[in-house]
Every structure is written in C-alpha cells, then in structure tokens.
C-alpha cells in the first residue's frame, strides 16, 4: 500500500473572499434531465457523493403518508445486478460510510468513501435508481422497522408529539402538515404495490440532482456519470401537491400533558415565506430572526434570560428552504411554572417593542459578518458543500444563487430587515403549543 | 477587498500516513500541527486529562458548570460583549466536560487570528464567573436535567451509568443532580478551573492556514499561564461492573434498553482485536450482526448498535436499542445469543477481512476538514499512541491474525457478564 510517489502539487489562486463564488462548483446536465454538480477539492483522497431527489412527502397521495420515507428505507434492499446488501457491504469494505434522509420536499442518499473507488460507487447509486428488486416479505419486515422508528422518534417523545400536532394545525391543506414518517395508521396500511408504483413513478434522472464533492475532477465526473446514468430514461414530469394555505381567522393553542414531562416548554410555529418567493426578502427575514432570537446573545435572550430572568432559555429561527411555505419556530423554557397565555403575551408585547427600538445597524452588521464567516466554515469539509448545494437546488434555487450568496448578503439593508420583522409581527398564521406535566 | 494567495498542498505521501510537525513553544508546551493553506481557517483541538472524575461527589456537575461558564464573560468583557466579539471575529469555541477529560475546540478565520486567540486566552484563563451568570447557567442546567428526565432514552442512559459502573465515578451524571448543582459556589468554580487546566494534563492538535512560528507564539499565549501545582489521581479501573438485568418501569409504548460489558483500555495490545470484534458484532453501520439479525431479518428495532469506550486505564463495551414493549425480552435474548455465538464460534475469515479493509479504508475520512485533522492529532496524543501511529496503524491492522483475534474474543466475550438496563414497560 505504501507508495513513494511524492506529490507536491502547488496551485495558486487569487482570492477575493466576499465577492468570490463560495464553492466554485461546476455543473452539467445529461439529456435525460439529470443535473450534476461537481465541487473539486483535492485536499484529501476522499469523495462525498449525494443524490438528491426533488420529491419527499410532497408527492404522496392522501391516505398514503409515510410512503416517500418508506421508499427511502427500501432503496437499500438491492438490485438485480447487485442483490441484497451488496452496496452497503461494498461500501463498508472500502471504509466508506453512508446514509439517507427524507424530508417534505426532497429525499437524499449519500456516501463518503476513498476516491479510488469512485467508479463503482457511481455505478451502484445509478443502478438503484431503476433496478431495485423488492418482494412482499422484505417490504413487510421494513414496515415493522419503520413503525419502530415512529415509536422511537414520536410516540415515546412528548415534545415530538406536540410538534407533530402543531404542524398539522398550521398546515391544514398542504403536505407540510403531515408527518414525513407518516401517521401510524397509514403506515400500517402501506403495501408492496404502493411502494412499487411510487418507485416507478418518481425515481428517475429528471427528478434528481447528483452532487460530487471532494477529490474528483469535472472531466472524470462527466465521463463516469454519462457512462452509468446516460442510458437511464427520464419519466414524465412529476407533480408536487403544493397547495397554498388559508389565512387563519382564529388563534389556536394546543397543549400536551404527559406525566413524564418534568420541564414546561412553550413553543410557537408561524407560517412564513420561502426563498422560492424571494431570496432577498427571506435572507432579510433570516438575519432579522437571528438578531431577534438566534443564540445566546439575541435581543429576546438578553431581555428574558438575562434581565427578567423568567426563562432559562428562549430562541427561534426561520426556515425558508422549501418549495411552498417556510416557517418560523420559537420556543421558551420558563423557570418555574408560568401560564401559557402569560408567556405568549409577554413575548408578543416585547417583540413589538424590540422591533421598533432594538434592531440597529450595528447588530445587523455583526450578524452579516457572522453569516459571511459561516460560509467560509462551510467550505472546510466535503459533505457540507454537497448538502448546501443539493438542498438549495432541489427546492428550486439556482447554483448561481448559492455561489453568489455573499453578494446578496451585502444588499440586505436595515430597512429590509425591519420591514420583514414588522411583517412577522403582524403574522396571525401561527399555532402555540404547550408541553406540561 | 483583500487579495489572498492560496497555496494548495497535497500533504499525503500515501493514503493513510498523515504528515505533521511536532512543535514546541518557548515556554515548553509541545503540540502537533498540520499546515493547511487550502482554506483561511485555523482549528485547534485540545484536551485536559481529568474532567468530571476530579469532582467531589457532593458537588457533582462542577466540571460541567465550570466549562459552561467559560464563554459567559471574561475579566474585561461581559457575557454579552464576549459573545459579540466572538461573532465579530468569526470565532468558535466549544468546551465540554466528559467523564475522563475536558475537551475543546477553537476555530478562527485566519485574518482574525490575533484577536481570536486573545479571546481564547481570556476565556480559559480569566473567566468572569459573575454571580448573575452562574445563576443563569445553573438554571439552564437544571432545566436541561428536567428535560432529560422527560426523555425515556436519556433516562435509560443515566440509569444505565448509575447501575452499571457500581462505585466508580463514571456512575454519576456529568450534569450532576439538581441538589448537587445548587451547592456549587463561585469559589468552587475558581478552584476547579485551576485544578482542571494544567499544562501537564494538556494535549493539543492544530491544523490550518498559519505559520509555524506564529502558532507557537499563540499556543504559548493561551496555555503558558496555566500551572502544574495539583497532582491529579489516575482514573480508577472498573472494579465492580454490574451484571444481569435491571428494570425501571415507566409508561411508554416503546422500551429503551442499554447494555454493557467489560472491555479494554485504549493502550491494551489487544485493543484492535476487540475493535474488529465489535465492528462485526454491532459497530459496522448497516452491516453488523446485531443490525442484520435484529433489524433486517426481524424488524424488531429501528436502530441497534454497540461501541467501545476505551479509557486510559480501562474500558467497556456499550450497546443499545429501543423496541416495542412486547418484544423486549425476545431482543435481549437475541443479543445474549449473539454474545454466545461470538465466544463459541468467533468471527469468520470473510468477516475478519472485511473489518480489516474497513479500518484501513476509513481512516482518510479524518483528513477532510481542518477541525477533524486537529482532533485526530489531539486524540492520538491523548491516548499516547505514539508519534509513529499514523505510519504504524496500517501495520497494526494488517498484522492482526484471525486465530489470535478469535482467541481474544473467546477470552473476552461472556454473556453472563452482560448488564441490561431496561426502561419502559416490558411484557
């Protein structure tokens, strides 16, 4: 294994960090519609491959909740050419690691592995896009695994049950209100035929973005991706059931009482815009929420934890990387028992006041600086760039949007941030939740 | 805008050997360093032997409370000011208390190096420990203990430690108890910091875009002020690990189970043999025997795993799963059977070869970020694996022989030494 070939490869770049493209990613598209992005980073002889399908629970028919996630589990069951657990076995033999995840708007699979095995790993991922072999027995066994997963993630965690319930109220019309893992009674009814027709309908190159990051070059990627994906036929255009939600005329508070709960928690989720609606507005909202509620130096933390000392923690964040509505999530952990209505009122009153008086240019500059530095940290590694790019592209953003994110960041003014926060303060589309003993 | 000249260097002579420099500062602190100019970041990983086991039992949670307060203000800056300056300099500081050490990481953007390291120095050497911040963080830890008490897997994990490790300090919760935390005062924190942060217990790994001479000065700035006036005791061996089952009843549809078994210290000659055995039993991702037989074939669990916890003086093998109340005993018995199978039959030639290939191939994954490289350098020093470890590792793996590994397995795995902590309503 030891070779005395001595590489000392010096490459010179000119670097202007803020106006430079973040990842310097290269992309191409096959005639069957597969989009491919390559992030060249020869630092270590390792590659991360991620394939992002641009559907998740978004394409499930009513009554079939959990199907996209079920399918994700079954993608590890082997193909005609590489049966059973060949893929996983091969990967662990070469020292690789793998996993997959399903969300509302996307489903993704990834592997991290030594770069000399690139060709085989590309072949294996391409192969399971169309050639999966399933039988009724392994579908039924996997269903038991998924029910155990649901029990582990939701049924034995009161806080997760509260979140599930709050989302179902907040998004009454769209798939964002249904749990990704599926309702228990619907998972129980899913069967082999559901899975097979889902697989055949949606798994195809025109619904996917392949991201290769690490010790790989564009020509090599082109050659291998064409070789293994080139002959896969595209399917007819799929449709997400993306529906807009009604405007709420009422306010809703839900409560979850469980005797295992020893610490009261207050939560609130708001429907919000997404980066698909507008990148600049969403970025302004994100910065605003970071100033208001992000981390342990936010305005809300300063007021309620440091000054009033009525909560041990308060925080919140904006998530707008979605095809349809985004959301804003807030939570507070009171010191001692406080009534839900009192917590809500305290926070609402203070937020209104803080937006008028506490959002300063200085705070915004600081947050922008941090945002910019985080983009540098994002380049230190191989999986992170693939995650950022894959997620953004599957929800509908363009590679250019990501690469020039820091230029967009520069454009955000204090007025834009305040406008977004005022809108947030007027937003009546929210649900409040209370977790208590 | 500043223009940076970036030099990209391939620093790997072969696939697994990492080339690093052993540096020594003016004041005599030695550390390991890999220069990486491909990205404008400097990452430091450090650890102090000691941590939670140095605490007095009545004030358990002291180490965790102390480390939680390090970013809550310094002699010159209030907590809020400190956090703002951290942001301004793109600096990240994470310090956590563990059972056998305090481990931390510090990262900064290269252009902000001097400001960043000054803050790093202030945080470790001159934390403010303001009464109001102590109260704030105390309340946060109490909330977090209460949240843990509402979460069945965490309840199981705490009960497992409490019952498995017997009289050993590892039976305690790192966060302490609500009662013990309330007893801690400012002087305890000041004294404990001095005791915990000593140069003789310190190891450091650094990677990133910075000159050797500059990083030597900065490491001195941060760590040279610490003294060596306390002698800390060695971590005790685990002399009274529990065996058998213990049940804690709590209403839930799914029971959490954790299990433990004796293992080896990190420097044991047979450590890698046990590592191979554990990989095959319950360590290897979607490939292990436990995963295959309990999840893939029977669908009894979503996840089942085992891992080694090697310390300086001793070690254990820990595992866990969650399953529906009606299948708890079935699953517990399958785990016991797998233990017996390890002892009676051992591992096959194919399993052995796959595991060796895995350990040889997976190592380069540590080389993909400045922080993972820095941490690797730190850990190798912490366990005293030797400066030639990166060259030797492959040899250690390739020199393993199947017969010898199976002999170690036979002498180690014993299902009667297993301890199961069962939390839920098993039927």
Are the Cβ atoms of A312 and B296 closer than 8 angstroms?
A: no
DSSP for B305-332 reads: EEEEEE-SS-EEEEEEEEEEGGGHHHHH
Q: How confident is the model at residue A314 (pLDDT cuts 50, 70, 90)?
A: very high
A265-278, pLDDT tens digit by residue? 999 999 999 999 99
Q: How confident is the model at residue B114 (pLDDT cuts 50, 70, 90)?
A: very high
Q: Which residues does chain A have within 8 Å of residue B149's beta carbon, measured at their own beta carbons?
A: 262-263
Are the Cβ atoms of A148 and B140 closer than 8 angstroms?
A: no
- Which of A196, A214, A229 finishes a domain? A229
Residues A256 and A220 in one domain: no
Does B92 contact chain A (CB < 8 Å)?
A: yes
Inter-axis angle of helices A279-293 and A340-357, nearest 10? 110
Are the Cβ atoms of A13 and B298 closer than 8 angstroms?
A: no
Nearest to A313 among B143, B301, B369 (CB): B143
Please tell me the distance in Å from A43's CA to the nearest CA on chain B. Answer: 6
What is the average pLDDT score of chain A? 94
Residues A223 and A258 in one domain: no
A95-127, pLDDT tens digit by residue? 999 999 999 999 999 999 999 999 999 999 999
B353-383, pLDDT tens digit by residue? 999 999 999 999 999 999 999 999 999 999 9
Q: What does the pLDDT read at residue A238?
A: 85
Nearest to B150 among A3, A15, A262 (CB): A262
Partners of A9 in beta bridges: none
Two domains, one topology: B21-223 and B244-424:
yes
In total, chain A counts a number of residues equal to 437
Residues A171 and A264 in one domain: no
Residues A364 and A422 in one domain: yes
Contacts of B239 (CB under 8 A, 6+ apart): B166, B167, B168
Q: What does the pLDDT read at residue B7?
A: 34
Q: Which of A18, A29, A40, A72 is catalytic?
A: A72
Query: Is A416:A280 a contact under the CB 8 Å cutoff?
Result: yes
Give a yes or no: residue A295 inside a domain: yes
Residues A86 and A211 in one domain: yes
A72 is known as an active-site residue: yes
Q: Which of A74-83, A377-386, B13-22, B293-302 has the lowest mean pLDDT?
A: B13-22
Nearest to A297 among B80, B365, B367 (CB): B80
Residues A173 and A258 in one domain: no
- Which of A195, A229, A263 finishes a domain? A229
Question: Which fold does the domain B21-223 belong to in CATH?
Answer: Cytochrome Bc1 Complex; Chain A, domain 1 (3.30.830)
Q: Which residues does chain B have within 8 Å of residue A10's beta carbon, measured at their own beta carbons?
A: 7-9
% of residues, chain B, pLDDT over 90? 91
A406-415, pLDDT tens digit by residue? 999 999 999 9
H helix runs in B184-270, sequence order: 186-196, 212-223
Q: What does the pLDDT read at residue A417?
A: 98
Q: In this structure, how many other beta carbons lie within 10 angstroms of the beta carbon of residue B174?
A: 18
Q: Is the pLDDT of residue B9 over 70?
A: no
A159-210, pLDDT tens digit by residue? 999 999 999 999 999 999 999 999 999 999 999 999 999 999 999 999 999 9
Are the Cβ atoms of A43 and B136 closer than 8 angstroms?
A: no
CA angle A312, A314, A320 (to 5 degrees): 155
Are the Cβ atoms of A43 and B3 closer than 8 angstroms?
A: no
Overall domain count for chain A: 2
Q: Which of A144-153, A297-306, B231-240 has the lowest mean pLDDT?
A: B231-240
What number is the average pLDDT over the span B65-78? Answer: 97
CA B226 – CA B194 distance, rounded (Å): 8
Q: Is the pLDDT of residue A19 over 90?
A: no
**Residue A324's domain is classified under what CATH number?**
3.30.830.10
Give a yes or no: residue A91 inside a domain: yes
Give a yes or no: residue A379 inside a domain: yes
Residues A213 and A267 in one domain: no
Query: Is A41:A215 a contact under the CB 8 Å cutoff?
Result: yes
Q: Given strand A46-53, what is the order of strands in its sheet?
A: A26-29, A35-40, A208-214, A46-53, A107-114, A97-102
Does B12 contact chain A (CB < 8 Å)?
A: yes
Residues A330 and A403 in one domain: yes
Are the Cβ atoms of A366 and B84 closer than 8 angstroms?
A: yes
Residues A221 and A167 in one domain: yes
Residues A225 and A358 in one domain: no
Range of A33's domain? 26-229
User: Does the CA dihedral B142-B146-B149-B153 come out positive or negative?
Assistant: negative
Residues A424 and A330 in one domain: yes
- Nearest residue of chain B to residue A140 (CA atoms): B299
What number is the average pLDDT over the span B56-79? Answer: 97
What is the average pLDDT score of chain B? 94
Q: What does the pLDDT read at residue A196?
A: 97
Q: How confident is the model at residue B284 (pLDDT cuts 50, 70, 90)?
A: confident
Are the Cβ atoms of B136 and A306 closer than 8 angstroms?
A: yes
Residues A60 and A134 in one domain: yes
CA B266 – CA B270 distance, rounded (Å): 9
What number is the average pLDDT over the span A7-23? Answer: 53
Q: What does the pLDDT read at residue B231?
A: 84
% of residues, chain B, pLDDT over 70? 96
Q: What does the pLDDT read at residue A239?
A: 83
Partners of A433 in beta bridges: A254, A267
Please tell me the distance in Å from A32's CA to the nearest CA on chain B. Answer: 32
Specify the CATH number for B244-424; select among 3.40.50.1220, 3.40.50.720, 2.60.120.330, 3.30.830.10: 3.30.830.10
Nearest to A42 among B10, B139, B364 (CB): B10
Does B399 contact chain A (CB < 8 Å)?
A: no
Domain boundaries, chain B: 21-223, 244-424
Q: Given strand B101-109, what is the order of strands in its sheet?
A: B21-24, B30-35, B202-208, B41-49, B101-109, B92-97
Q: What is the dihedral of CA A215, A219, A221, A224, to 10 degrees?
A: -130
ipTM score of complex: 0.93
């Amino acid at each position: 294994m030891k070779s005395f070939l001595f590489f000392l490869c010096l490459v010179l770049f000119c670097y202007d960090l803020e106006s430079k493209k973040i990842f310097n990613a290269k992309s191409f598209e096959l005639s069957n519609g597969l989009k491919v992005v390559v992030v060249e980073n020869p630092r270590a002889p390792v590659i991360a491959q991620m394939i992002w399908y641009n559907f998740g629970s978004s394409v499930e028919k009513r009554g079939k909740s959990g199907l996209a996630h079920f399918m994700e589990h079954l993608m590890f069951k082997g193909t005609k050419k590489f049966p059973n657990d060949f893929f996983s076995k091969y990967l662990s033999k070469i020292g690789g690691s793998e996993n997959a995840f399903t969300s509302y708007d996307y489903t993704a699979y990834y592997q991290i592995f030594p770069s000399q095995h690139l060709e085989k790993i590309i072949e294996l991922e391409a192969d399971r896009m169309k050639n999966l072999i399933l039988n009724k027995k392994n579908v039924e066994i996997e269903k038991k695994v998924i029910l155990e997963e649901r029990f582990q993630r939701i049924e034995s965690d009161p806080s997760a049950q509260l979140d599930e319930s709050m989302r179902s109220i907040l998004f009454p019309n769209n798939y964002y209100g249904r749990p990704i893992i599926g309702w228990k009674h619907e998972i129980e009814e899913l069967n082999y035929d559901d899975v097979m027709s889902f697989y055949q309908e949606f798994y195809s190159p025109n619904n996917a973005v392949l991201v290769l990051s690490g010790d790989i070059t564009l020509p090599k990627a082109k050659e291998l991706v064409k070789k293994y994906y080139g002959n896969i036929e595209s399917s007819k255009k799929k449709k997400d059931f993306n529906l807009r939600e009604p405007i709420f005329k009422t306010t809703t508070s839900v409560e979850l009482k469980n005797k295992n709960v020893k610490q009261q928690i207050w939560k609130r989720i708001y429907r919000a815009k997404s980066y698909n609606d507008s990148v600049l507005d969403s970025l302004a909202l994100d910065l605003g929420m970071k100033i208001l509620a992000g981390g342990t130096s936010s305005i809300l933390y300063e007021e309620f934890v440091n000054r009033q000392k009525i909560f041990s923690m308060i925080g919140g964040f904006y998530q707008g990387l979605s095809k349809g509505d985004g959301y804003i999530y807030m939570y507070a952990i009171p010191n001692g028992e406080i009534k839900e209505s009192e917590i809500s009122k305290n926070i609402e009153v203070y937020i209104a006041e803080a937006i008028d008086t506490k959002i300063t240019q200085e705070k915004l500059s600081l947050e922008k600086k941090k945002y910019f530095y985080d983009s540098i940290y994002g380049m230190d590694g191989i999986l992170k760039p693939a995650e950022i790019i894959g997620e953004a592209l599957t929800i509908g953003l363009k590679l250019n949007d990501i690469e020039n994110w820091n230029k967009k960041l520069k454009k955000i003014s204090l007025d834009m941030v305040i406008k977004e926060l005022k809108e947030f303060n007027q937003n009546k589309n929210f649900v409040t939740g209370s977790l208590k003993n | 805008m500043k223009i940076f000249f970036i030099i990209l260097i391939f620093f790997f002579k072969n696939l697994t050997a990492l080339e690093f420099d052993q540096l020594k500062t003016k004041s005599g602190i030695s550390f390991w360093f890999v220069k990486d100019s491909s990205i404008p970041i400097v990452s430091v990983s450090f650890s102090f032997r000691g941590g939670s086991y140095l605490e007095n039992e009545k004030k358990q949670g002291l180490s965790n409370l102390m480390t939680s307060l390090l970013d809550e203000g310094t002699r010159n800056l209030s907590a809020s000011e400190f956090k703002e300056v951290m942001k301004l300099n793109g600096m990240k500081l994470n310090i956590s208390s563990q059972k056998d050490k305090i481990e931390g990481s510090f990262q900064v953007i290269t252009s902000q190096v001097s400001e960043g390291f000054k803050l790093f120095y202030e945080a470790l050497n001159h934390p403010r420990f303001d009464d109001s911040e102590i109260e704030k963080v105390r309340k946060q830890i109490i909330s977090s203990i209460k949240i843990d008490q509402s979460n069945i897997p965490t309840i199981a994990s705490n009960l497992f430690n409490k019952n498995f490790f017997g009289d050993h300090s590892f039976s305690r919760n790192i966060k302490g108890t609500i009662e013990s935390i309330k007893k801690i005062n400012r002087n305890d924190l000041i004294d404990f910091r001095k005791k915990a942060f000593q140069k003789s217990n310190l190891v450091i790994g650094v990677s990133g875009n910075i000159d050797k001479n500059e990083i030597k000065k900065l490491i001195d700035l941060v760590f040279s002020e610490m003294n060596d006036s306390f002698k800390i005791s060695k971590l005790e061996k685990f002399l009274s690990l529990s065996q058998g089952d213990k049940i804690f009843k709590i209403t839930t549809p799914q029971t959490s189970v954790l299990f433990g078994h004796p293992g080896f210290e990190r420097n044991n000659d047979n450590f890698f043999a046990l590592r191979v055995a554990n990989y095959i039993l319950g360590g290897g991702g979607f490939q292990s025997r436990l995963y295959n037989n309990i999840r893939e074939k029977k669908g009894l669990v979503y996840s089942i795993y085992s891992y080694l916890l090697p310390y300086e003086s001793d070690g254990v093998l820990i595992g866990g799963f969650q399953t529906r109340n009606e299948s708890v005993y079935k699953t517990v018995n399958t785990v016991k059977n797998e233990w017996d199978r390890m002892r009676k039959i051992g591992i096959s030639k194919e399993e052995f070869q796959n595991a060796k290939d895995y350990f040889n191939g997976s190592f380069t994954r540590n080389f993909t970020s400045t922080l993972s490289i820095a941490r690797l350098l730190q850990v190798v020093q912490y366990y005293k694996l030797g400066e030639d470890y990166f060259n030797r590792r492959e040899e250690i793996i390739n020199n393993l022989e199947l017969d010898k590994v199976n002999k170690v397995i036979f002498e180690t795995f014993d299902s009667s030494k297993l301890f199961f902590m069962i939390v839920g309503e098993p039927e």
